[in-house]
A and B are shown apart, each in its own frame.
Chain A
């Protein structure tokens, strides 16, 4: 009898303790399905995937070692970060994708004009531009790649900056901070690479 009472009390205590704990953590502190964190993770994953796609294309279309190394770096880093986004969503027990339009999670995303396509996210290359990149060769391809990737990185910085004021999750702020700083540094490097190639290349 004593044992039963203790067991019942323990279970009750566990429930109470868990509830109190959840309350102290901010209640529903795990980001929800419509949260900025989940939206950022999903949209940034699509954004990163296109950077990886473009980096693979340029590795096929030029032998320039400087471009090859940069593309290799982008492929590995952004692919790994896609794994982090996916891991967050798993951890938060949320679906990996959503049927909501992209960028709805931002301050500007509520109401107003809705984006209908992922291609409308900041810095995304259009299907035509991707097609062009897949056909271009040599310096022409390098210039196109750098122009597209600089725009793409600027969009990535914009998206990472958009999530920062909307979250206190440290895993999100840490990665968003590194994306802002990292992609800005890569933009500066790519601007130099672009200027060098434009100086050499006369598309007469």
Chain B
């Protein structure tokens, strides 16, 4: 009985250690498999340009961009942002939350509370998008209808300074850049 008990304990511990040891390494791969409905876009160029860029997505998910970036340190903007500066913030690893007039005003407050003061996030109105609410990071985008959608928090935690970031370590501070 003693040995049987010890055997069971041994079995459990060895299995636990094996399971832990065999789990994938914690460094995430750029992937959207976990979140339903995320669109991914590859082969995005990333040079600086002073010209207005005609981006194929609304809001843009990446591509050539302005030399400057918008502050993305949990910044909630009431005004429409220049695409080129927002895209540069995406390159630095930020998640951009955008909404149209179709978004419920209570929802806009909920989203602002999720963004305000949170690292690698910013939010602004965006009229020319299909869904009332869109979440964008470099090369990935998710459309949602309302702020209670569980995928919003998932998107934020996955992509804020996430594995899609083309320039890991880049800052979202924009106050003193020039």
Contacts and interface: CB of A to CB of B under 8 A. Distances in A.
Interface string B152-172: 000000000001011111110
A21 B18 contact: yes
Interface residues of B, number: 38
A73 B177 contact: yes
A13 B10 CA distance: 5
B54 interface: no
A76 B171 contact: yes
Interface in B122-170: 163, 165-170
Max chain B Cβ within 10 angstroms of own Cβ: one of A73, A169, A185: A73
Contacts, number: 114
A195 interface: no
Interface stretch (B19-27, B32-40, B98-106): B19-27
B68 A69 contact: yes
Nearest to A74: B170
Interface stretch (A1-9, A110-118, A147-155, A157-165): A1-9
B16 interface: yes
A174 B47 CA distance: 20
A20 interface: yes
A109 interface: no
B14 to A, nearest CB: 4
B6 A6 contact: yes
A60 to B, nearest CB: 13
B169 A70 contact: no
A72 B168 contact: no
Max chain B Cβ within 10 angstroms of own Cβ: one of A9, A10, A65, A83: A9
A6 B67 contact: no
A80 B9 CA distance: 45
Nearest to B12: A13
Given A2-B2, A77-B167, A189-B47, A17 B14 contact: yes
Given A170-B25, A178-B166, A182-B46, 11 more contacts: A2-B1, A9-B7, A10-B13, A16-B10, A16-B14, A17-B13, A22-B21, A72-B177, A83-B169, A188-B47, A192-B48
Interface of B: 1-3, 5-7, 9-11, 13-14, 16-18, 20-22, 25, 27, 29, 45-48, 67-68, 163, 165-171, 173, 176-178
Which 5 residue pairs of A and B lie closest in terms of their CB atoms, listed nearest first?
A80-B169, A21-B21, A17-B17, A9-B6, A13-B10
